[in-house]
Homo-oligomer: A and B are copies of this chain.
Amino acid sequence: MSSNNVYDKEHPRHLIPELCRLFYDLGWMTGSGGALSIKEGNEIYVTPSGVQKERVQPDDLFVTNLNGDELDGPPKEKKLRRSQCARLMMTAYQKRDPGAVFHTHSPSATFISILYPGNEFRITHQQMIRGVGGRYDEELVVPIIQNAHDETKTIAKMEKALDDYPNTNAVIVRRHGIYVWGESWQKVKLRCESYDYLFETAIKMKQFGLDPAEVPKGEEVAPS
């Protein structure tokens, strides 16, 4: 699943551009939105900022250590900057030690944060909850933090959410997008897809006046 060989197509330098193209097609990285990172050994590969994500090239990536210090970067003539969300990603790397952290501007994640004005997204009795590591009949809770123009404020909120929700593998940033992590890029990609499925279901339920967090009649609650 991982490799030190940059010629290997499973190397982050190839996987990240490929996933950027896929996520662009899904509408998660349009308008240069979002950022992807994958850890390879002690190195973290991150996308650049402000560019067309679906056109990112292998040598456009930044490489940092776990402290976020830059080890390598794109050729200077490309004039690229590291993704501004990289610091929020580092929070997840430092507190959870994942193999990958993806940040997308998924429209359904962004819209869910508008529909749920509180600090949590909640849904239950959905098979797709298994796709993010839970049970069909449990209540899935994903923390929502406030966005801010000043990124420093968001980092503190991200840290707090990770402390307050020790089992979560995702944080929604209100009116902005979502951060998702896991032990491998495959797991994180599957989780991103599953969260989106759940968010879309919840939005449609609310359109029909239904509460996604309500246990359906005649159904049981997960044993605690």
Contacts and interface: CB of A to CB of B under 8 A. Distances in A.
A186 B79 CA distance: 15
B189 A126 contact: no
Interface string A50-84: 01100000000000000000000000000000000
Contact of A136 (B105, B127, B131, B148): B148
Contacts of A146: 218-219
Interface in A168-208: 173-177, 186, 189-191, 193-194, 196-197, 200-201, 203-208
Interface in A107-153: 107, 110-111, 114-115, 117, 125-128, 131, 135-137, 146-149
A210 B207 CA distance: 13
Interface stretch (A25-33, A91-99, A159-167): A25-33
A55 to B, nearest CB: 9
A197 B136 contact: no
A156 interface: no
B111 A197 contact: no
B148 A107 contact: no
Contact of A110 (B148, B201, B207, B222): B201
A205 B112 CA distance: 11
B30 A196 contact: yes
A175 B125 contact: yes
Interface in A204-224: 204-208, 210, 216-219, 222
Given A105-B197, A117-B216, A207-B208, 8 more contacts: A30-B196, A30-B197, A31-B190, A52-B189, A52-B190, A110-B126, A115-B208, A126-B176
